[in-house]
Structure 1
Amino acid sequence: MTGRQRRAVVIGGGIAGLATAALLSAEGWSTTLFEARDEIGGRAGSWRHGAFRFDTGPSWYLMPEVFDHFFRLLGTTADEELDLVPLDPAYRVYSDPATGLDPLDVRSGREAATALFESVEPGAGARLDAYLDSAAEAYDLAVTRFLYDTYETTSGLRDPALLRRMPRLAPLLTRSLARHVERRFTDPRLRKILEYPAVFLGGSPYGVPSLYHLMSHLDLGDRVLYPRGGFTEVIAAVARVAEASGVTIRTGAAVASITASDGAATGVELADGRRVAADLVVSGADLHRTETQLLAPQLQTYPESWWRSRTPSPGALLLMLGVEGSLPQLAHHTLLFTRDWRGNFDDIFGRRPRIPDPASLYVCRPSATDSTVAPPGHENLFVLVPVPADPSLGRGGVDGSGDPAVEAAADRVIAQIADWCGIPDLADRVVARRTVAPGDFADEFGAWRGNALGLAHTLRQSALFRPRNASRKVAGLAYAGASTLPGIGLPMCLISAELVVKRLRGDRSPGPLAEPARV
């Protein structure tokens, strides 16, 4: 490669691919990104219907320091790139009306959170204070020791400072989040507030380790923010810094295969037959699709047989609803929690999976904060119902055109929101509607088993047990995205991009890259 610039190809224009491309270009690589669809963003996409604009994926802006670190690596900041608005309340919680339990408004900040818990359950405020101390310590441990580690060696895990904390850490790895919470709190609403973040990790509170109680540091101890304009603005910002660093982005350009010779990646072949040479290939596409469809069998690090014993995140039934009139009953973020909490997760992850009914679900009303997402006098609702990861559940559509079973489930969800939140005429006020189901995730994103998020964060699929960011069979082939290290969610995808660069630099430290000094 003497005398010419190193060439990199990135597959996939989701946030992981865009971020990887941006960092590679800043490292001096001539970088081209290929996205199969006509627009970038991947699961963090956008849909317009008349004067409505909907985010079609992530809607919680958590771990703000990870976003800021990424932008600072590229000479800017999150505050310069995004208009971030703190939410108050952070979210609202409704319970099944049959329980007789009142809704709760959850406000961020330790003082507000402990006051809420104490008002619901005497003594719970002090217990939450201790719980958040532990969550903050676990979060600091994750950021400084686990999330930014490529695990090329175990030196980070053998650090004396970490080993001294093992007596406190080990129990958090061996008991479930649900058991950890339920030993400390009695009120079902408080338990569910602390357990529901398991869904953000693609799992069940009965299946993810209690180390992930660190998530409560984010929504209770820290702030919940919203990027004005929606999460499409986050994608636009990452794409903007990528192009500013020299990345070429090609949409409508599907990659059919990764080419290799003598055990090293040589580039990609596009669906139209064109071949693009590269010294480095990074796939931000679904890892299962990358391994089992883009690589020849003898080159697969994670072949089909590997996936048979792995656990996907849930699938999702998504509803995008344009609603006439106001909906003050809903906060920007609203959660509906079923009475049969464990049964709800058994429906999703158990031996006889089905769409839960009633379901524990999430409603985002961005129009509560952002006037750009709905026309005057209307509201924008995005509803997520965790369902089994199973493409046979069907596909959605616009204005009721999806598969009958999907649309019937969506009707039940609308009726549930109407009943639980006191909006009896909700269905009659819907003027725009789109549904998305596991079949859509499989078809549009190549998502393994139609899952919505990636590999679930079970113990055997976390940290050093998660798929690494580089192929063991093909030199010069790396991975980024939600099913590789470190995991699920937009911040994790940004870190996965950074891990690619750390490998290229030979940086085996457990922490983030040093940020360049700003002039």
Structure 2
Amino acid sequence: MSSSVPRHDVIVVGSGLGGLTTAACLAACGRSVLVLEQHEMLGGCSQVFRRRKAWEFDVGVHYVGGCVPGSDGLIPTVLRGLGVEDRIAWSRMDDAGMDTVQLPEHAFRVPTSWEGLADNLAAAFPADADGLRRCVAHLRLIGEGFDRINDVPHAVGAMLPLARRPLELAQIVRGLEQPITALFARNGLSPQASAALVSLVHLHNTPPDRTPALLVAALLRHYFKAGAFFPTQGGQVLAANLTEVIRSHGGAVRTKARVRSIDVVAGRVTGVTLDEGERIAADVVVSNADAHRTFLDLVGPEHLKARTVRRIRRFERPHSIFSLYLAADIDLSATRPATNYVLHRRYDQQTTFDLMDRGRWDPDGWLAISSPTLKTGGVRHFGTPGHSSIEAFTTVPDDPAFWGGGDPYAGEDYEDRPAYQERKAEVEAVMLERTLEALPELRGHVVWQESATPQTHERYTLSRMPYGPLNSKEQIGPGRRLPVRTEIDGLYLAGASTVFLYGIAFTMRGGVGTASAIVGRDLMAAFHGGEVIADRAALPDHGPDWDPFFVCRRHAVKRGRARRDGEVVSAA
């Protein structure tokens, strides 16, 4: 390799929160780190976008649990260990109803407590009250078992704190091995009451008959332990603070730098090659791309064991997400609480997934509405006063044929295809009408409207899996999800494809886990012990005009065209 090839200790491919957390930890530990992001904005699914200098929309940060300053929640602990906990403000959502669920003939609010959930469900479904209380009690037993480990069950060793609580351990194992529908059947729930409980985990996008009870319990406990929160300055604030840790500790970030390949020689990584041919050397590469992209596209099957290739190809992808973004010239927070809305037009939610398995879309499937304006109580850091931003999401097939063809990953056109435009307009129209039915005060006040398909998501993130692989029992837990250390020497994984699972809290925790594997030290244990590995004095000041949006942009590096492998001519 030519001496002109730049070298770093670690290259992180992708700037989702898993990758950025890994990079921030490694930079704080003294490693020379380079983050490469193909998009113009850092943050992956946590990024925001703005329109007409008037409205900001969050792509993937909707709400998180337990962000009480100084607490032992996953997110505060990670941020505190990196020296930035007090640099992020949180808005607390309505404890009386962080979610408002609307079913065909029933409605209830989801408070941030087990007791409140049981009471609200019993009031909404009186004929199923006893069975619902038993189900909630069972989920609580599983969920509070996680308090003993206060971690993602990413390894057998993580479960050791439960060794002296065999009942809780047995219930957790049973909760993983049996779908939530088995719990409903044991407690004699009606289809309507069963739908109410399934509705609470809509966004993980797994069919009810394959959703582990463990997943439902863990997600509810995540919010019930200390409340539900939203970053007051929007989701971009997380990526911005992690980026500042990286750069202030000698690391570098580059946007518009798409990686063509993770280079492997004789079973170990040697670096990466970018699309335009530029090579960058490193003894360690962390891939924040999804598992299929990492192994089958960036590394290549020729460098993997045959059983690994078979495993990755068997790794099931979930169906994808369609997003609708609206701006309105009224302030929703003036009349509504800080809640999300979850809408279902059918009780049999399994039908939605069965239809998609057959290549069809269900216009009556779940739809979630989340408004940063509501979640911050009208407090804004950007945009037109008195206006609101609204984001709605539903599940759709990710099959390119459903969308008229075109592969964004391969650079193929898709936006101008008539079949794509027709399908997009069809889904968008249904979502808009359902959103207006739920929030009727928006009628006549929508001043901006756009939407994003699975193709859009892939264009910006190179993946159609916002929540990682299908979150079924076959793909959750040690030996089922992928470990952060791979069979290729020097190659590590971060993000939702790993044993640390998906979501803001879990992927950030997973980033610490990946960094720990690289440095050979349990950084999460150090964080829980009060250690701050970052140099807080090195972090830049946050003045009154500090904007996380601009922290995460304009990191592109103009490079010359590669003449041949290993040699790059700098641009004049």
| Same structural fold, with TM-score higher than 0.5 when normalized by the shorter chain | yes
DSSP 3-state at the match of 2:425: helix
DSSP 3-state at the match of 1:320: strand
Which residue is 1:320 aligned to? Answer: 325
Contact 1:393 1:439 in 2 (8 A): no
Q: Summarize the Cα distance change of 1:53–1:160 in structure 2 as closer, same or farther, 3 Å threshold.
A: closer
Which residue is 1:223 aligned to? Answer: 227
Letter in 1 for 2:90: L
How big is the shift at 1:12?
Answer: 0.8
1:341 maps onto 2:356 in alignment: no
Q: How many residues align?
A: 497
Q: Distance in 1 between matches of 2:161 and 2:98?
A: 37
Q: Distance in 1 between matches of 2:114 and 2:400?
A: 41
1:439 maps onto 2:439 in alignment: no
Letter in 2 for 1:23: C
Q: Distance in 2 between matches of 1:318 and 1:93?
A: 19
Q: Distance in 2 between matches of 1:121 and 1:489?
A: 30
Specify which of 28, 31, 36 is matched with residue 30 of structure 2. 28
Letter in 1 for 2:384: P
Contact 1:43 1:445 in 2 (8 A): yes
Which residue is 2:298 aligned to? Answer: 294
Greater shift in the superposed pair: 299-308 or 200-209: 299-308
1:41 maps onto 2:43 in alignment: yes
Deviation string, structure 1 residues 57-82 (Cα, Å, up to 9, x no partner): 221212541111111222342xx021
Deviation string, structure 1 residues 1-53 (Cα, Å, up to 9, x no partner): xxxx9711111111111111111112221111111111101122211112011
Q: Summarize the Cα distance change of 1:190–1:129 in structure 2 as closer, same or farther, 3 Å threshold.
A: same
Which residue is 1:415 aligned to? Answer: 433
Q: Distance in 1 between matches of 2:151 and 2:322?
A: 35
1:391 maps onto 2:400 in alignment: yes
Specify which of 117, 120, 123 is matched with residue 124 of structure 2. 120
Q: Summarize the Cα distance change of 1:377–1:488 in structure 2 as closer, same or farther, 3 Å threshold.
A: same
Contact 1:347 1:355 in 2 (8 A): no
Specify which of 509, 521, 529 is matched with residue 495 of structure 1. 509
Q: CA RMSD in A?
A: 3.2
Runs of 5+ unmatched residues, structure 1: none
Q: Distance in 1 between matches of 2:161 and 2:442?
A: 59
Greater shift in the superposed pair: 475-484 or 508-517: 508-517
Q: Summarize the Cα distance change of 1:170–1:218 in structure 2 as closer, same or farther, 3 Å threshold.
A: closer
1:115-154 alignment, distance < 5 Å: 115-122=119-126, 123-124=129-130, 126-127=133-134, 130-131=137-138, 133-140=140-147, 143-144=150-151, 146-147=153-154, 149=155
Deviation string, structure 1 residues 436-487 (Cα, Å, up to 9, x no partner): 111122333221xx33321022112111110111221x20111101112211
Q: Distance in 2 between matches of 1:34 and 1:23?
A: 16
Q: Distance in 1 between matches of 2:323 and 2:526?
A: 34
Runs of 5+ unmatched residues, structure 2: 1-6, 68-72, 405-413, 537-572
- TM-score, normalised relative to structure 2: 0.78
Q: Distance in 1 between matches of 2:136 and 2:482?
A: 35
Which residue is 2:113 aligned to? Answer: 109
DSSP 3-state at the match of 1:405: helix
Q: Distance in 1 between matches of 2:51 and 2:299?
A: 38
How big is the shift at 1:134?
Answer: 0.9
DSSP 3-state at the match of 1:233: helix
Q: Distance in 1 between matches of 2:157 and 2:327?
A: 52
Which residue is 1:362 aligned to? Answer: 368
Identity %: 21
Contact 1:314 1:453 in 2 (8 A): no
Specify which of 82, 92, 98 is matched with residue 74 of structure 1. 82
Q: Distance in 1 between matches of 2:420 and 2:447?
A: 16
Which residue is 2:282 aligned to? Answer: 278
How big is the shift at 1:316?
Answer: 0.5
Contact 2:16 2:44 in 1 (8 A): yes
Contact 2:81 2:531 in 1 (8 A): no
Greater shift in the superposed pair: 154-163 or 177-186: 154-163
Letter in 1 for 2:100: R
1:60 maps onto 2:63 in alignment: yes
Q: Summarize the Cα distance change of 1:401–1:308 in structure 2 as closer, same or farther, 3 Å threshold.
A: closer
Specify which of 405, 409, 413 is matched with residue 423 of structure 2. 405
Q: Summarize the Cα distance change of 1:138–1:211 in structure 2 as closer, same or farther, 3 Å threshold.
A: farther
Q: Summarize the Cα distance change of 1:159–1:321 in structure 2 as closer, same or farther, 3 Å threshold.
A: closer
Q: Summarize the Cα distance change of 1:109–1:253 in structure 2 as closer, same or farther, 3 Å threshold.
A: same
